[in-house]
Amino acid sequence: MKFIRSKRIFTIILTLALTILCFAGIDTREAKAANKRSRYTICIDPGHQQYANSNKEPNGPGSSTMKMKVSGGTHGSKYPEYKVTLSVGKYLKKELERRGYNVVMTRTKNKVDISNKERAQYASKKGADIMVRLHCDGSESSSANGASVLCITSGNPYHSELYKKSNNLSQCVLSAYCDKTGISKRGTIYTDTMTGLNWCSVPSTLIEMGFMTNYSDDSYMNQKANRKTMAAGIADGIDDYFGF
Ligand SMILES: [Zn+2]
From the CA of 157, how far away is ligand 1's center (Å)? 23
From the CA of 135, how far away is ligand 1's center (Å)? 4
Nearest to 194 by CA among 162, 231, 146: 162
Nearest to 124 by CA among 41, 206, 35: 41
Q: Which residues of the chain have pLDDT under 50?
A: none
From the CA of 118, how far away is ligand 1's center (Å)? 16
To which H or E segment does residue 136 belong?
strand 130-137
From the CA of 98, how far away is ligand 1's center (Å)? 27
From the CA of 239, how far away is ligand 1's center (Å)? 24
From the CA of 127, how far away is ligand 1's center (Å)? 25
From the CA of 22, how far away is ligand 1's center (Å)? 46
**Distance between CA 94 and CA 224 in Å, rounded?**
14
Q: Where are the domains of the chain?
A: 1-37, 40-242
pLDDT of residue 244: 95
From the CA of 206, how far away is ligand 1's center (Å)? 9
Neighbours of 113 (CB within 10 A): 14
Tens digits of per-residue pLDDT, 183-233?
Answer: 999 999 999 999 999 999 999 999 999 999 999 999 999 999 999 999 999
CATH of 40-242 given 3.40.1440.60, 3.90.1150.10, 3.40.630.40, 3.90.550.10: 3.40.630.40
pLDDT of residue 22: 54
pTM of the predicted protein model: 0.89
Instruction: Phi first, then psi: give them for residue 145, nearest 5 degrees.
Output: -150, 170
From the CA of 200, how far away is ligand 1's center (Å)? 17
Where do the DSSP E strands lie in 24-81? 41-46, 53-58, 66-70
From the CA of 168, how far away is ligand 1's center (Å)? 22
From the CA of 150, how far away is ligand 1's center (Å)? 11
From the CA of 35, how far away is ligand 1's center (Å)? 34
Residue type, 157: P
* Direct distance between the N- and C-terminal alpha carbons of the chain, in angstroms, rounded to an integer: 52
